[in-house]
Amino acid sequence: MADEGLAAHRREPIKSSVGNVAAHRRRKNAATVGKERRESLVRAKRLCRVGISGDTAVSLENDMMIDEEQSILEAQTSSAVEELKSSVAYQGKGAMQKRVNALRELRRLLSRSEFPPVEASLKAGAIPILVQCLSFGSPDEQLLEAAWCLTNIAAGKPEETEALLPALPLLIAHLGENSSLSVAEQCAWALGNVAGEGEKLRNVLLSQGALLPLARMMLPNKGSTVRTAAWALSNLIKGPDPKAATELIRVDGLLDAIVRHLKKADDELTTEVAWVVVYLSALSNVATGMLVKTDVLQLLVERLATSNSLQLLIPVLRSLGNLVAGDSNTTHAVLVPGREITDHVIEVLVKCLNSEHRVLKKEAAWVLSNIAAGSVEHKQLIYSSEAVPLLLRLLSTAPFDVRKEVAYVLGNLCVAPTEGDGKPNLICEHLVSLVGRGCLPGFIDLVRSADTEAARVGLQFMELVLRGMPHGEGPKLVEREDGIDAMERFQFHENEDLRNMANGLVDTYFGEDYGLDD
């Protein structure tokens, strides 16, 4: 897990608070988790089935093709590439229309199936001829069709996407001000597919200067163009290197454009802009610092309160969680107890905890865990809200991944911020109340799980109970819920940190003298 690197340097059990571990884990994993969310909900690469110009001639039905039909499609694609080569070589009357017609036929074939015949087009030599069709001075219709073909080739397998390397400089060049909006947008789509393939191709695009022209495409109020550019940018700055995210936020006018789009755009555009905010806030401290000084937080909260679009709510929640997972100064600046915005944040997170969607519950708990890892005042905000009854119920009834996030929230509510690696100071009022309301069995269930991260959180909470419950009641409560048995399963566990934690607790609280006083 993310914090096991730290565990290797400490031998005594439970040297770090639930809060400290949670905050470290979230900052370290912010980009990775965001990437997983992104790719599970919206494919990193997108096939262009309906054109930028509104061409709807492509059938969107009958995606399933039998092998014989696929073979025919591949043969037709090879023939179409040969026809394109012939049309490019032709210099007679109607040469331009002949090229456009040949490009349109190839594009139609590459758009026809959910699994387009990319391999056949590459074997026939499509890339060099498509690059030739992107040459400056070509009519927009030709540029658009060529870029569309390249977009769908880039949506293929990794090696097929890499085949676009010779086309990248021209695709980037056509993002400029001298290009029509439709051509620029289609080129941005192709580049977004290339960036979605992985870090290697992202670095190539960044080195060739794709970031700035894509960023400039976000500045106007052109809905479709902004949406495509934002999606391409979110693929381009995914990381893990924060340099691109920091460079993007510093583009003149970009921050104002993000605020403007979040304020006025429809859900579909806001979703793409929110994903840009996800990666900016996950990867760049500079970007986070700039974002929290704007109206972005307020706008994110308003979207959470008013939208029911799962596609939108996920990146909005993720952005909110990243912003409050910054350093303590940032968190205090964003969430000030007593301010309306702070109360509103808790309210919308409660709304998400009540959602029927598992992913929303998990994301909302993740955000709350970041807030609960903050100051005592922030912990009190959550503790006194409607979130706690929901969290207690989810700890015992929700799917495992949600229960693990909920455990971080409840655990963080019971410990005060600490310096260094010492044992955390308890907030006894919270601990006694939560244990009295039945949360201990949920934590012990996590200890029994095969997930080492969940087991660690469960053991840490058990330590709080054993150490902190008044009148020495902790050991009896743990024993009553079969907690000793749960800890003893770690007696010979392969994870040294968990083994030391569990064995240390058993030795300290259930040693030879345990029960003699009774």
Alpha-carbon distance of 253 to 269, in angstroms, equals: 18
Q: How confident is the model at residue 511 (pLDDT cuts 50, 70, 90)?
A: confident
Q: What is the pLDDT of residue 25?
A: 43
> What mean pLDDT is predicted for residues 159-169?
96
Residue 375 has pLDDT above 80, yes or no: yes
Give the DSSP per-residue string, 326-390: S-HHHHHHH--TTSHHHHHHHHHHHHHHTSS-HHHHHHHHHHHHHHHTS-HHHHHHHHTSTHHHH
User: φ and ψ at 156, to 5 degrees?
Assistant: -85, -155
Q: What is the pLDDT of residue 7?
A: 24
**CB of 146 closer than 8 Å to CB of 133:** yes
Which of 85, 70, 76 has its CA nearest to residue 108? Answer: 76
Q: What is the pLDDT of residue 181?
A: 94
Residue 22 has pLDDT above 50, yes or no: no
Q: How confident is the model at residue 49 (pLDDT cuts 50, 70, 90)?
A: confident
Q: What is the SS3 assignment for 136?
A: coil
Q: Rg of the Cα trace of the chain?
A: 28
Which of 311, 236, 243 has its CA nearest to residue 271? Answer: 311
Torsion of CA 179, 185, 190, 196, to 10 degrees: 130
Residue 30 has pLDDT above 60, yes or no: no
Q: What is the pLDDT of residue 12?
A: 24
Q: How confident is the model at residue 339 (pLDDT cuts 50, 70, 90)?
A: confident
Residue 497 has pLDDT above 50, yes or no: yes
Q: What is the pLDDT of residue 499?
A: 92
Q: How far apart are the first and last CA of the chain?
A: 41
Q: HSE on the CB side for 102, CA within 13 Å? A: 23
> What mean pLDDT is predicted for residues 150-168?
95
User: φ and ψ at 426, to 5 degrees?
Assistant: -85, 145
pLDDT digits (tens, 9 = 90+) for 99-153: 999 999 999 999 987 788 999 999 999 999 999 999 999 999 999 999 999 999 9
Q: Residue 43, Cβ neighbours under 10 Å: how many?
A: 12
Q: What is the pLDDT of residue 324?
A: 80
Alpha-carbon distance of 168 to 187, in angstroms, equals: 9
> What mean pLDDT is predicted for residues 357-379?
90
pTM exceeds cut of 0.85 = no
Residue 267 has pLDDT above 50, yes or no: yes
**CB of 38 closer than 8 Å to CB of 477:** no
Alpha-carbon distance of 393 to 327, in angstroms, equals: 30
Worst-scoring range by mean pLDDT, 49-53, 180-184, 249-253? 49-53
**CB of 130 closer than 8 Å to CB of 150:** yes
Q: How confident is the model at residue 57 (pLDDT cuts 50, 70, 90)?
A: very low
Q: What is the pLDDT of residue 17?
A: 43
Q: What is the pLDDT of residue 240?
A: 87
Q: What is the pLDDT of residue 327?
A: 63
pLDDT digits (tens, 9 = 90+) for 295-316: 998 899 899 888 888 899 999 9
Torsion sign over Cα 91, 97, 100, 104:
negative
Q: What is the pLDDT of residue 334?
A: 67
pLDDT digits (tens, 9 = 90+) for 284-300: 989 998 998 899 988 99
416 strand-pairing partners: 425
Residue 61 has pLDDT above 60, yes or no: no
Q: What is the mean pLDDT of the chain?
A: 85
Give the DSSP per-residue string, 172-220: HHTTSTTS-HHHHHHHHHHHHHHHTT-HHHHHHHHHTT-HHHHHHTTSS
Q: What is the pLDDT of residue 335?
A: 75
Q: What is the pLDDT of residue 66?
A: 58
Residue 58 has pLDDT above 50, yes or no: no
Chain centroid, CA 404 distance in Å: 18
Beta-carbon contacts of 435 under 8 Å, excluding residues fewer than 6 positions away, are 465, 469, 477
Which of 407-436 are b and which e, b meaning 16 or more Cβ less than 10 Å from the residue's Cβ?
bbbbbbbbbebeeeeebbebbeebbbebbe
Q: What is the pLDDT of residue 65?
A: 52
> What mean pLDDT is predicted for residues 232-257?
95
What angle is formed at CA 233 by the lines to CA 208 and CA 29, rounded to 5 degrees? Answer: 110
pLDDT digits (tens, 9 = 90+) for 415-474: 987 766 667 788 999 999 999 999 999 999 999 999 999 999 999 999 999 999 999 999
Alpha-carbon distance of 512 to 298, in angstroms, equals: 57
